[in-house]
A and B are shown apart, each in its own frame.
Chain A
């Protein structure tokens, strides 16, 4: 069965802290994605990766960076957390060989920046 896991369900950090959100998938998928979800704004793509060490900016990359050193793991980094980064963060993955665009999502991390 498809599985995408995220390191934390809930996280509370202080302004200025460096924050790491981890995502792991066990489906050998090539593509991985990070979204943030805010009320009234829906899901917005932050970054995605189509291969190890490869990344592309999404629609709202400012204030974020990513790392993909291994195929199964995609990390989202907030270099200096700010209160406007308080949000629900969702990771997803997609396989090249499926020939569909279906994405599989993790359970989400609700991040609060104080």
Chain B
């Protein structure tokens, strides 16, 4: 049973426009959510996170929104840059030092 779902396998956007990456989860015990960026043959790089007590967290061009009632979160990248092209994983945790449950990832391509 997939507890973290990223239903779109890929997204292509024009440079300078907004990228919106979506993530849904089913486990009500998840209380912390993270987004990671990953290049081929490298480990995931942390981007931004959000606690379940918040509905928005912003860091530069990256903003994560959390809708607990819908069990949905999204990552907004504005403006998108070609260097943002990578695989983005949504991950969730039900406690510190516990396991991270990852979604399948979404491949973002930003066109110049």
* A, B assembled together: no
Report A's interface with B, CB cutoff 8 A: none
Report B's interface with A, CB cutoff 8 A: none
